[in-house]
Amino acid sequence: MTALTILLVLVLLLVVFGLLFRLQIFTSIFSGTFTRDIGMSNSVNAVLMLVFLIGGGAWFAYSFVENFNKMNPPIASVHGHKMETMFWTTMAVIGVAFVITQALLFIYAYKYQHKEGRRAYFFSHNNTIEVVWTIIPAIVMASLIFAGWKAWTRITGPAPKESVVLEVMGKQFNWLVRYPGRDMKLGVVNYRMIDAVNEFGFDLSDKSALDDFTTNEIHIPKGVPVLIKIRSRDVLHAVYMPHFRVQMYAVPGMPTRFWFTPTISTDEMRAKLGNPKFNYELACNQLCGGSHFAMKATVIVDEPDDYQNWYASQQSFSQKNPDVLAAFKQKAKTMVVPVAAAAEEKEAAPMPLAASN
């Protein structure tokens, strides 16, 4: 690093000297008509084109290989592995196009530099070539589109019936997580019910909300499809879990969802990486305010049995907060219309937990 800094400082110094040198020339020039002569500098630039191609290409290849592992953190979801294959296949295709076009550009620049007495070749068009290089990219694009479209439909399609369901709600600046509890139904939430205690806005006059429980960490079972329902209660956020190749915005007023199947448990990943502190992370990936960069949740992938045990041991929100529940009961007595009936957003058909249940 220091060596590099010194190198760059040297380059800058050279530039400064260059400037001073030019200044001298400037001051010595008195006005006259400028005629451009094509001399030494033209061939210097031509050679630099070649140097840039070779030097730059070598640097790029070296740094790419050098950083390859760093840019490929482990992947732990079924669709993630497929996406990865598609990513590197596409990279290979564009890599070929990149190398060919860049090489031609710089080689032509070098090779066809000005030579005294030579005249450029008057070549204004050629329909055959033009049709060929329109059709070939079109075919390549069509195949990439087809592969992408198939994968996209599968990934964004409906979640399997046996999916585990949980809900994540974004707020400035952390993530709230809730699970449907024993009845496997996410109860009604209403942003008008939100306060310092009832952060999720549970409407406890809805029966299915009574056993919903909230957690700080996200627990999901390995090898089982997981459907994450996503909400936001203030500004836009995005659920981003790079290890699972999952990303979906959290939009206030418009619940979104994403489903995936984790393939490696947290413990397995810790052993695999030799890093006992490793954790899957959920990052916010849509600008949401000053502490956007610190809006994080930990994701823990359990073995299915451990997950069941963990799930069973959780206490519901209403149990933990009896006074909130009492307040709702009080309200229900005084009001003619139950609040739940007024709330429109009744959740869709519940998802059973794992098949093992």
Partner 1 sequence: MSDMTPKPNLSPDVQAQGGIGTAPVPATEHGDHLHHDDHEHDHHDQHWLWKYVFSQDHKVIAKQFLITGIFWAILGGTLSSLFRLQLGWPESSLEWLKPFLGGWIQAGKLNPEFYLALVTMHGTIMVFFVLTAGLSGTFSNFLIPLQVGARDMASGFMNMLSYWFFFLSGLIMFSSLFIETGPAAAGWTIYPPLSALPQAIPGSGAGMTLWLVSMVFFIVSQLLGGVNYVTTVINLRTRGMSMSKLPLTIWAFFLTAILGILSFPVLFSAALLLVFDRSFGTSFFLSDIYIAGQALSNQGGSPVLFQHLFWFLGHPEVYIVIMPAMGMVSEVLATNARKPIFGYRAMIGSLIGISLLSFVVWAHHMFVTGMNPFLGSVFMFLTLIIAVPSGVKVFNWLATLWRGNIRFTAAMLFAIGFVSLFISGGLTGIILGNATLDIQMHNTYFVVAHFHLVMGSSAFFGLFCGVYHWFPKMFGRMMDEKLGYIHFWLTFAGVYLVFMPMHYVGIAGFPRRYYAWTGFDAFSQFADMNKFISIAAILAFLGQFIFIFNFFYSIFRGRRATQNPWNSTTLEWTTPVIPGHGNWPGEIPAVYRWPYDYSKPGAETDFIPQNVPYSQTQSSNLPYEQELAD
Which residues in the 73-102 window bind partner 1 by CB under 8 A?
Answer: 73, 83, 86-87, 90-91, 93-94, 97-98, 101-102
When binding is defined by CB under 8 A, the residue of 13, 24, 63, 207 that contacts partner 1 is: 63
Neighbours of 84 (CB within 10 A): 13
The pair phi, psi for residue 328, each rounded to 5°, is -65, -40
Query: What burial class does residue 183 get, using C-beta atoms within 10 Å of its C-beta: 0-12 exposed, 13-18 middle, 19+ buried?
Result: middle
Residues 303-332: x/- map of binding to partner 1 (CB under 8 A)?
------------------------------
Smallest distance from the beta carbon of 129 to partner 1, in angstroms? 7
What's the CA gap between 314 and 302, in Å, rounded? 15
Which residues in the 210-239 window bind partner 1 by CB under 8 A?
Answer: 230, 233-236, 238
Smallest distance from the beta carbon of 70 to partner 1, in angstroms? 5
What's the CA gap between 225 and 77, in Å, rounded? 10
> Interface with partner 1 by CB under 8 A: which range of 178-186, 253-261, 320-328, 329-337?
253-261
What's the CA gap between 168 and 248, in Å, rounded? 11
Residues 112-141: x/- map of binding to partner 1 (CB under 8 A)?
xxxx--xxxxxxxxx--xx--xx--xx--x
Token pair 């200044």 in the structure block, residue:
23
* Nearer to partner 1 (CB atom), residue 58 or residue 356: 58
* Nearer to partner 1 (CB atom), residue 72 or residue 330: 72
Residues 18-57: x/- map of binding to partner 1 (CB under 8 A)?
xx--x---x--x-xxxxxx-x--xx-xxx-xx--x---x-
Smallest distance from the beta carbon of 318 to partner 1, in angstroms? 20
Tell me how many degrees the CA angle 244-247-248 measures, rounded to the nearest 5.
145
**Could you report how far apart the first and last alpha carbons of the chain are, in Å?**
56
* Nearer to partner 1 (CB atom), residue 98 or residue 319: 98
Query: What burial class does residue 182 get, using C-beta atoms within 10 Å of its C-beta: 0-12 exposed, 13-18 middle, 19+ buried?
Result: middle
* Nearer to partner 1 (CB atom), residue 184 or residue 251: 251
Edge-first strand order for the sheet with 218-221 is 218-221, 296-302, 280-284, 237-241, 246-250
